[in-house]
Amino acid sequence: MQAMILQAAGEKLALIERPDPEPGQGQVRVAVSACGVCRTDLHVLDGELPDIKYPIIPGHEIVGRVEALGAGVTSLRIGQRVGIPWLGHTCGHCPYCRTARENLCDAPLFTGYTRDGGFATKTVADAQFVFPMSGEEDDDAALAPLLCAGLIGWRSLVMAGEGKRLGLYGFGAAAHIIAQVARWEGREVFAFTSPGDTRTQSFARELGAAWAGGSDQMPPELLDAAIIFAPVGALVPASLKAVKKGARVVCAGIHMSDIPSFPYALLWEERQLLSVANLTRQDGEDFLALAPRMGIKTQVTRYALKDANRALADLRAGAFEGAAVLIP
């Protein structure tokens, strides 16, 4: 197999050859057909997350086909198209796992972070954390962003509540999917981008946003809820200022710069500030079952596997709208 491997924080990924991995008990080997490039991959690259396993093959928005079954696997079949998400393993016996909160597991493993991921031609995953992907007519590259940008966005949207006016801060891969979901649900979307980024604002309006502007602006009316996708702590007080009394602000990223101090008056009147941590298998089952009915159209920019460093650099620079996807 071929893989793009990260040897240490801050280095570039290197293309390597290694033997195909063998699936262990309860695992499957998947031939990767597409792997999305996520902002979390940048946090892994930059060493901004704790306890990263080096060397590591990044990538956790994986679509491919089952190639080999480990002992005891009966839920999947050879040749089946599947998706592999961020959460790759949980202990199953900690207080969180026992109470349907496996996203908070005390001993988890994460794809492309603490176990090898999908910037490769092959990967191994626990069968319990592999999702069958329906609709063989759909393009694998278009489906890949659903495995993290879509799933984390979906969990964030559910946590944000049922408010009709929804603000999305940072209009990248996750927001461009969740804007479509919110519109399908009958909500109004208000998109906030980097100040002066008129290109992305136009893209948001094309996807049905009722308003699009800079994150330094106030929306034309107060919001019922807001989700922060950009890893910028200063957006916390900005979004609290933009929402109604009793509204929720959800921080959707795994990493964020420090939140500056702000007056208590912004949080008062029962505004809630929440964070999203990972996802559960139930999130995946719920969202992936609904996604075909929602008519989600992901906008993807394709890169060859060997061009993973360029894809990451383009993501960092905001050089494209939507998501980047590696094609082995």
Q: What is the CATH number of the domain that holds 213?
A: 3.40.50.720
Assess whether 129 and 185 both reside in one domain: no
Q: Which domain range does residue 169 map to?
A: 150-275
Q: Quick check: is 283 in a domain? A: no
CA distances from 92 to 98, 100, 207, 281 (A): 7, 10, 40, 12
- 195 with 307, same domain? no
Confidence at residue 134, expressed as pLDDT on a 0 to 100 scale: 82
Q: Is residue 287 part of a domain?
A: no
Q: Taking a C-beta distance cutoff of 8 angstroms, is the pair 218, 242 a contact? A: yes
Query: 194 in a domain, yes or no?
Result: yes
Cα distance between residue 219 and residue 94, in whole Å: 43
pLDDT at position 328 is 93
State residue 137's pLDDT score.
Answer: 60
Residue 81 lies in a domain: yes
Same domain, 158 and 129: no
Q: Is residue 223 part of a domain?
A: yes
- Same domain as 240, residue 200: yes
Measured CA to CA, the distance from residue 46 to residue 156 in angstroms comes to 25
Asked if the structure places residue 291 within a domain, the reply is no
Q: What is the pLDDT along the chain (328 residues), one digit of tens a residue?
A: 999 999 999 999 999 999 999 999 999 999 999 999 999 999 999 999 999 989 999 999 999 999 999 999 999 999 999 999 999 999 999 999 999 999 999 999 999 999 999 999 999 999 999 999 986 667 999 999 999 999 999 999 999 999 999 999 999 999 999 999 999 999 999 999 999 999 999 999 999 999 999 999 999 999 999 999 999 999 999 999 999 999 999 999 999 999 999 999 999 999 999 999 999 999 999 999 999 999 999 999 999 999 999 999 999 999 999 999 999 9
Residue 122 and residue 186 in one domain:
no
Is 165 part of any domain? Answer: yes
Residue 307 CA to residue 107 CA, distance in Å, equals: 33
pTM: 0.94
Helix (H) or strand (E) holding 95: none
Does 167 lie in the same domain as 75? Answer: no
Q: Quick one: 114 and 30 in the same domain?
A: yes
Per-position b or e across 208-224, b if 16+ CB within 10 A of its CB: ebbbbbebeeebeeebb
Residues 111 and 157 in one domain: no
Domain count, the chain: 2
Q: CA 128 to CA 90: how far, in whole Å?
A: 10
Residues 247 and 305 occupy one common structural domain: no
- CATH number for the domain harbouring residue 29: 3.90.180.10
Residues 208 and 157 in one domain: yes
Structural domain contains residue 141: no
pLDDT of residue 65: 97
Are 101 and 176 within one domain?
A: no
**Secondary structure (3-state) at 180:** helix
Q: Does residue 124 share a domain with residue 35?
A: yes
